[in-house]
Amino acid sequence: MSDAKKQLEYWLGDSYFDEETKQELLSIRNDEAEVEDRFYRELEFGTGGLRGVIGAGTNRMNKYTVRKASQGLANYIKKNGGADAAKRGVAISFDCRKFSPEFADETALCLAANGIKAYVSDILRPTPELSFALREFGCIAGVMITASHNPPEYNGYKVYWEDGAQITPPHDTGIISEVTAITDYHDVKTMSKEDAIAAGLYVSFGEEIDDKYMVELKKQIIHKDVIDEMADKFTIVYSPFHGTGNLPVRRVLKELGFKNVFVVPEQELPDPEFTTLAYPNPEDPKAFELALKLAKEKDADIVLATDPDADRLGIYAKDNKTGEYVAFTGNMSGMLIGDYILRERQATGTMPANPAFVTTIVTTNMARVVAEKYGLHYIEVLTGFKYIGEQIKLFEQNGQSHNYVFGLEESYGCLAGTHARDKDAVVAVMMLCELAAFYKKQGKSVWDAMIDMYEEYGYYKEGQYSITMKGKEGAEQIAALMDRLRSNPPKEFGSFKVVEFRDYKTGKTLDMATGKEGQTGLPTSNVLYFALDNDAWCCARPSGTEPKIKFYMGVKGTGLEDADKLQKELTDAVKAVIG
């Protein structure tokens, strides 16, 4: 009998698992492939924490795997959080997905049964607000129940540490070690909600955190006078994609005085099925269909959408010359916001001393050029916004050696300010609307402003190519492909010559011309990076949350058409190299 089958039989035979779970497992008992996929492993922490398809099994999101993760977190907190860790507690929030409120309660009640206080959001709230809340309460950790932009069948469990950022080494490996050390589900503690409330270990939070979060957001505004002048002269269309952004985004825009804000009615309210969306991801052009329809009706200047947990922002902007709406990538919108903040902070004398700009190794190379122009300390970190958030903590620990001003990653996430330590689509919406008002006053559209940036810094264009390989066999194929590229790195991708090869797993860099080796200077990660000539690049990285391998790439062209052409050439070359 296979290990997966043994696990299945254990779940079916043990009294710990409820009847509903057993009935679900009985329905797939004779499907060997399904049994293997559900039980061949435990759900693992990746860059996004714990994430998986909802269902019964060790490789699924369900109340038992959530409890087990929470017990592991509780054990880690008690061992590594200090004497007052239990009293400081854990903040918990959740999004609109199936079982999100239930998983939040399962988390809280497991922690409470371990004597750890839980602060639980009374309604669904965004990921960045969870990051803010845990610091506001002085918690040792936080948990966000969300699968971000994944399809409806997914849910997830993001863990944050006391600084408000997602867990990084050593906490991530420490927590997962505690989780995997639990081999008997009977060792997982829980208690009733009534008992937890009576013991003062389950506390709801709500509007008081919303109010404080709004105050912090509005501190990032640079030109309130321009907003006041232009607030009724341009039009915004917004969709929360059925998620957590609806209330905070509308509130902050209303409080700032923006007048013409139209919310896509079909996508306004929470919907765990995401009925109007095939894929609730602002990176997907199809997700904007309803928003763009409304934009054309209202003659909107900008079209905005936040993903279900409101940490990512997608935008379209009207091109006044053609009347069409132009899609922005995360690199484009992030750089537009970043350039605006840096320029206007410098112009108004509000730039802090020793300012820093933080980005990731797979984000546009334009970030480096912009940071250099404004004299900011420029830092590149591993993929995952948790490493950007970590830099804020390191600055604080080093006596404010630098002051964080802005950070972005390519996957539609950025953060202005330090109120949160994760990407924040609510503050991104706010800054995007401010800069839209600023440029409108100058007679420019947001798209005009983007073209101005390209003209000044170069026509940088980025893209991705992904290969999905599901199940155990897929994981083995991904590992084999990475091993091949690592042991025999290509010297060129088509006409693009490899200038430097970086292997973040070994921590080594290789100058392809001289053969000289160096160090990446970053933590170990299963990532391969190829710096190419003419400021182009390619990076290979297996996803930590999905069964796929991603190839990120970027080029620098002389115009929009040239950048498109170079990007296609590089994508085709990457496909040829990997076979």
DSSP string for residues in 83-152: TTHHHH-EEEEE-SSTTHHHHHHHHHHHHHHTT--EEEESS---HHHHHHHHHHHT-SEEEEE--TTS-T
Give the length of the chain: 579
Give the pairing type, strands 118-121 and 90-94: parallel
Q: What's the CA gap between 140 and 475, in Å, rounded?
A: 34
Q: What's the CA gap between 147 and 153, in Å, rounded?
A: 9
Residue with tokens 């320029």: 343
Are the CB atoms for 98 and 70 separated by under 8 Å? no
> Would residue 15 show up in a list of annotated catalytic residues for this protein?
no
The residue annotated as part of the active site, out of 121, 148, 333, 411, is 148
% helix / strand / coil in the chain, to the nearest 5? 40, 20, 35
Residue with tokens 């053609």: 322
Backbone angles phi, psi at 305, to 5 degrees: -145, 135
The set of residues, in sequence order, having a beta carbon less than 8 Å from that of 125 and lying 6+ positions away, is 93, 94, 133, 209, 210, 244, 248
Q: What's the CA gap between 237 and 82, in Å, rounded?
A: 47
Q: What's the CA gap between 60 and 185, in Å, rounded?
A: 15
Alpha carbon separation from 222 to 25, 43, 435, 438 (Å, rounded): 56, 44, 9, 10
The count of other CB atoms within 10 Å of the CB of residue 213 is 26
Q: What's the CA gap between 294 and 300, in Å, rounded?
A: 8
Catalytic positions, written as ranges: 148
